[in-house]
Amino acid sequence: MSNKKIAYRPIDPQVEQLARDHGHTPEAALEVLKDLCAENKLNQASITDTARVLGIPAHQAYGMATFYSMLSLEQRKKVLRVCDGPVCWLKRASTQPLLKEWSENPALKELTIERTSCLGLCDRAPAVLIENEQAGPVTIAEAWRLCEGWQGVPTSYSEERTGETRLMMSLAGKINPDSIESAILHGVYDGLKKALSLQPGEVLSEVEKSGLQGRGGAGFPVGRKWRFVATQANQPRYLVCNADESEPLIFKDRVLIDSNPHQMLEGMVIGGYACQAREAWIYIRGEYEFQARRLEKAIEQARAKSLLGENILGSGFSFDIHVHRGAGAYICGEETALLESLEGKRGEPRLRPPYPPQFGFRGQPTAVNNVESFCAVPHIIKIGAERWRSLTNDPTPGTKIYMVLGHVRNPGLFEAPFGITLRQVIEEFGGGMLPGSHFNFALCGGAAGTIVPPALLENHIDYNSGPLKGVTRDIPAMEKRWTQVISMGAGAFLICDQTVSPVALLRELLSFFAAESCGKCTPCRIGTWRALEILNRMTSGNGQPGDTDELNRLAGLMRDSSFCGLGQSVGIPMLSALTHFEAEFAKTEKQP
């Protein structure tokens, strides 16, 4: 056997520097690759160098570089990403003609123009991302202004709507979100001070008594999850904030960060104290670069005030928070896929059990909660669990951030107790339907929510309406019950008038799911594309007999056999639409 040593090519010094800048651990891989891509230096050589310097297999680094939508191995100009989410689609009917027109516009010749899934800018639709800068609303005629730095007009939420009960949004417009002094002056971090005067178990019990349910969509009790983590023997324990707000219709977490980032940090520190964790990560979607920078600034300010870091406020408790950027992948909203991505891998879901509270980040006990959940915690500690529960007469306690979009006079975001009806969402908080519009249907909860008809306008919306997967046509005994469910999900409602076909909206949703499927399991990878193929045929006037039945079968198959909850949830809008609007689907099928 030869003893000749293999001569390796020296690692690019720039890659080595980027690795040092991002912590020089395998978990830094995604951010290193993003920085290389931003300079048009993402190629086979730089990917291999990234793997070598971080001590990970080259195939793992290459797998990441080809997985995330914001990464590209091709040389590109300044990138303009045009959102084709359902709200932007509703605003301009179709994205494809817009992409074609913009691509041929001489004023935009310096840009690489691409479609992208929902940008989390639904209240600014039609929305775009020009490099890392968020912009909208942007019309076809205004596109040339993007090259001059124009970003449209952000929506303001400083004024309360009639009927709101504001806690998490109470300081919107009243504080400077980039000033910790302004936040402290208005009582932010008072909840943390109170929590540190209690024992960790007392804080945990108060959150449990409040009945706070996770605000990311699943509604799992926050206190119970924290209890699971706190009682694990393994150390260290971690907290992770899921700020990967990638589902169409959802933008509340962005608004919470923009209006009061210190509120979220305060909730995370309280959570860390209750769980006796010492470290936390905020996983924020790559499209939220502005919000990521705002959070990093807030973290620096909190450390300077001894509200983060070692020996917080002299309590003996030490806790720190880091910001980690994603790079474009809807699947990373699923908590185990998020953890995989956070560890420097492709964002693909893990097999469960074990669940993250037992085996999470780095294989340690981990509590994963979303932005709104953490924002609620300081208010629970300040006003007490009983007061929190008294804010609503609904079985689900506390307030919720809702989003109403579409054909209403006053689209946007509001905070209210649980138990409101869809009619209230439209008429009281949304200002009613637009002139000339009458209510046809609503997509409730988010892209993976239910599509419901006028008959359900009076139904109450909360987490206790029943499991969303119960919306089914396959189990007759349950059909009547579950088709009455209005999904709470993350609290979003897309209101559609008589000009919108439920078949066309379902096609847009399947276009999103097909583009964003991680591809790990066959039911989701193939099922979404097959359903999209059928819906494209139906909406183009070429439907065939049996198409509706096949959509039903595909929805049931994905619901029952997809690997993770995201694949399983694709069937929810499909089955609800097929149940409530059977006649609309039947009309698209050409008779032999």
How high is the pLDDT of residue 93?
61
Question: Environment class of residue 149 by beta-carbon count within 10 Å: exposed (0-12), middle (13-18) or buried (19+)?
Answer: exposed
- Of 141-150, 302-311, 552-561, 580-589, the least confident: 141-150
214/207: higher pLDDT: 207
pLDDT at 354: 94
Confidence check: pLDDT of 474 > 70: no
Mean pLDDT of 62-87: 93
pLDDT beyond 60 at 469: no
Peptide bond into 200 cis (omega under 30): no
Going from the C-alpha of 230 to that of each of 233, 237, 311, 363, 441, the distances in angstroms are: 8, 8, 20, 15, 44
Q: Does the pLDDT value for residue 394 go beyond 60?
A: yes
Point out the least confidently predicted range of 140-149, 216-225, 303-312, 474-483.
Answer: 474-483
Domains of the chain with CATH codes:
13-65 (no CATH), 78-148 (3.40.30.10), 180-389 (3.40.50.11540), 399-587 (3.10.20.600)
pLDDT at 2: 53
Tell the burial category of 199 from Cβ atoms under 10 Å away from its Cβ (0-12, 13-18, 19+): exposed
Extended strands (E) in 257-357 = 279-284, 320-325
Residue 473 has pLDDT above 70, yes or no: no
- Token pair listed for 207: 């959150």
Pair 360, 234: CB distance under 8 Å: no
**Mean pLDDT, rounded, of the chain:** 91
Q: What is the rounded CA–CA span in Å between residue 312 and residue 261? A: 18
Q: Return the pLDDT at 590.
A: 73
Q: 103-157, pLDDT tens digit by residue?
A: 788 878 888 888 999 999 999 999 999 999 999 998 877 888 888 888 988 899 9
pLDDT of residue 579: 93
Per-residue pLDDT tens for 352-383? 999 999 999 999 999 999 999 999 999 999 99
Under 8 Å between Cβ of 244 and 284: yes
Least confident of 2-16, 138-152, 578-592: 2-16
In this prediction, residue 478 has a pLDDT band, given cuts at 50, 70 and 90, of: very low
CB 409 within 8 A of CB 434: yes
The amino acid occupying position 298 is A
> SS3 for 345?
coil
Q: Report strand pairing: 399-406 vs 412-417.
A: antiparallel
* Average pLDDT of the segment spanning 296-307: 98
Q: What is the pLDDT of residue 262?
A: 98
Beta bridge partners of 70: none
Q: Coil, strand, or helix at residue 505?
A: helix
Length of the chain: 592
What the block records as the tokens of 315 is: 């309590």
Distance of alpha carbon 184 from the chain centroid: 28
pLDDT band at 464 (very low <50, low <70, confident <90, very high): low
Q: How confident is the model at residue 73, as a pLDDT? A: 94
Beta bridge partners of 241: 282, 369
Q: What is the pLDDT of residue 65?
A: 96
pLDDT above 90: residue 536? yes
Please tell me whether residue 343 adopts helix, strand or coil conformation: coil
Whether the Cβ atoms of residue 118 and residue 248 lie closer than 8 Å to each other: yes
Higher pLDDT, 485 or 293: 293
Q: What percent of the chain has pLDDT over 90?
A: 78
Q: What is the mean pLDDT of residues 27-42?
A: 94
pLDDT at residue 500 tops 80: yes
